[in-house]
Structure 1
Amino acid sequence: MIKKEVVIKNKIGLHARPAALFVQTANKFISEIMVKKGNSTINAKSIMGIMALGVSHGETIEIIVDGPDEENAIQELEYLVDNKLLDK
């Protein structure tokens, strides 16, 4: 199991398109992937779960990955949050 805290840097947070990209990326992996914000932990492969967290700009989430491809999953999700979700 790998845990990694990341800060959401894009202006709109994990809403709409960024949430969909995050879920789409998570679904590429076999591992179980969870996202924790405060006391709430949800399945990162669920668009409704990600949207329900209400993650805004500047907030920190913890990505928790457990499974056979956890290393690749955590790296790709961290890269996505740090680089690809940034506002153009």
Structure 2
Amino acid sequence: MRKESLTVRRQGFHVILAKQFTELAASFASEEIRVVWPARNIISDAKSILGVMALDVSAGDVLELTTEGPEEDRAVEALAALWSEHG
């Protein structure tokens, strides 16, 4: 299992970022890719646009990206890079 922290800098998962994020997550063979919001004890499937939009995070919130499966390293690196650029 691989884990990476993501800090929300802007408005969270707006529609365009959510679409890009979930499509990128779905492109990996990793069995589980999740976005975890520890402060509220919420876990969302990173491959589900409704799941990530429902998190309703705002600037300053800290999320955890967890991956498990054959491409977990590539998945977390690519998703964290997308988040770093747009999140």
TM beyond 0.5: yes
Determine which of 60, 81, 84 is the counterpart of 2:83: 81
Amino acid at match of 1:7: T
Q: How does 1:65-76 map to 2 (within 5 A)?
A: 65-76=67-78
Higher helix share: 2
Amino acid at match of 2:69: G
SS at match of 1:26: helix
Offset, 1:55: 1.7
The answer (yes or no) to whether the contact 1:8–1:82 under 8 Å persists in 2 is no
Structure 1: distance between partners of 2:66 and 2:76: 8
Determine which of 51, 54, 62 is the counterpart of 1:52: 54
SS at match of 1:58: coil
Extract unaligned runs of 5+ from structure 2.
Answer: none
Match of 1:21 in 2: 20
Extract unaligned runs of 5+ from structure 1.
Answer: none
- What stretches of structure 1 move > 3 A for 4+ residues in a row? none
Structure 2: distance between partners of 1:42 and 1:23: 11
Taking only the aligned residue pairs, the percentage that are identical comes to 37
SS at match of 2:3: strand
RMSD: 1.1
Structure 2: distance between partners of 1:17 and 1:55: 15
The answer (yes or no) to whether the contact 1:14–1:51 under 8 Å persists in 2 is yes
The answer (yes or no) to whether the contact 1:23–1:45 under 8 Å persists in 2 is yes
Offset, 1:19: 1.0
Aligned residues: 84
Offset, 1:33: 0.2
